[in-house]
Structure 1
Amino acid sequence: MTLNKKQILTLVLIIGGVMSLVLLFYYVYFAIRSYVFPILTPFIFAIGIAYLVNPLVNLLIKKGMHRIVAIIIIYVSILAVLAFFIIWLIPRLISELNKLTILFPRYVAQIHDFYLNAEQNINNMSLPEGASEIIQNAFKQLNILPQLVEKFQTMLQNLIGGISNFVITFIKGIFNFVMALILSFYFLKDVEKFKAKLVQIVPPKYTKQIFHLFRDINDVLAAFIRGRLTVCLIIGLITFLGLTILGVDFALLFGVIAAVTELIPYFGPIIGSIPPIIVAALQSPWLALKTLVLFVVIQQAEGNIITPKIVGTNVGFHPALVIFVLLVGGQWKGVIGMLLAIPIAAIIKVVLKHIALLMTDRRQEER
Structure 2
Amino acid sequence: MSYTEFFRRALTVALLIVLFLGFWQLRNIFIITFLASVLALVLSIPVARLQSLGLGHTLSVAITLLGVLVVALLFLLWIVPVLATETLNLVNEMPEMTSDLVESYNDWREDQSAATQDALPDIRYDQIETEFEKLRDEQTDSSADLFRDVFPTVRDTGLVVVNSLTSLTFVFIVTLFFLLDPGDYLRGMLYLVPYDYQERALSVLIEIRVSLTAWMSSLAIAMSVTAFLVWFVLGVLIGVENALAIAVIAAAATIIPNIGVIIPIIPIAIFTLSSGEPVQFPIAIVAYLLIQQVEGNVITPSVIKERMSIPAAIVFIFQLISAFLFGALGVVLAVPLLAVMITLIREIYVYDTLGLRDVEINLESAGPKSLGRMKLIRRVGDQDPVESQVVRATQVMRALEIGADDSQPSSAEDERMPR
> TM-score under structure 2 normalisation?
0.56
Higher mean displacement: 200-209 or 229-238: 229-238
1:43-88 alpha-carbon deviations (Å, 9 max, x no partner): 5553333122112212222333221121111112112112212432
Residue 204 of structure 1: aligned partner: 195
Deviation for aligned residue 1:331? 5.4
| Partner AA of 1:63 in structure 2 | L
Answer yes or no: is the 8 Å Cα contact 1:236–1:258 preserved in 2: yes
Within the candidate set 59, 67, 83, 2:57 is matched to: 67
The answer to whether the aligner puts 1:224 opposite 2:215 as a matched pair is yes
Q: Secondary structure at the match of 1:64?
A: coil
The answer to whether the aligner puts 1:78 opposite 2:68 as a matched pair is yes
Two-structure CA RMSD over aligned residues (Å): 5.0
Structure 1 residues 279-358: aligned runs within 5 Å: 283=277, 285=279, 288-289=282-283, 292-293=286-287, 296=290, 300=294, 313-330=306-323, 336-354=329-347, 355-358=349-352
> TM-score under structure 1 normalisation?
0.63
Unaligned runs of 5+ in 2: 1-13, 121-127, 140-145, 359-419
Residue 214 of structure 1: aligned partner: 205
CA separation of 1:258/1:120 partners in 2, compared to 1, >3 Å: closer, same or farther?
A: farther
The answer to whether the aligner puts 1:183 opposite 2:174 as a matched pair is yes
The answer to whether the aligner puts 1:276 opposite 2:271 as a matched pair is no
Alpha-carbon distance in structure 2 between the residues aligned to 1:196 and 1:26: 26
The answer to whether the aligner puts 1:258 opposite 2:261 as a matched pair is no
Answer yes or no: is the 8 Å Cα contact 1:262–1:269 preserved in 2: yes
Alpha-carbon distance in structure 1 between the residues aligned to 2:245 and 2:25: 38
Higher mean displacement: 242-251 or 88-97: 242-251
Deviation for aligned residue 1:317? 1.9
Answer yes or no: is the 8 Å Cα contact 2:222–2:300 preserved in 1: yes
Residue 10 of structure 2: aligned partner: none
CA separation of 1:65/1:94 partners in 2, compared to 1, >3 Å: closer, same or farther?
A: same
Alpha-carbon distance in structure 1 between the residues aligned to 2:255 and 2:23: 27
CA separation of 1:107/1:229 partners in 2, compared to 1, >3 Å: closer, same or farther?
A: farther
Deviation for aligned residue 1:236? 4.1
Answer yes or no: is the 8 Å Cα contact 2:258–2:296 preserved in 1: no
Residue 248 of structure 1: aligned partner: 240
Structure 1 residues 3-82: aligned runs within 5 Å: 28=22, 31-32=25-26, 37=28, 43-82=33-72
1:295-344 alpha-carbon deviations (Å, 9 max, x no partner): 535764787678867x6722212233333333444555665443333322
Larger helix percent: 1
Deviation for aligned residue 1:23? 9.9
Higher mean displacement: 252-261 or 187-196: 252-261
Structure with greater contact order relative to length (CA < 8 Å, sep ≥ 6) = 1
Q: How many residues align?
A: 318
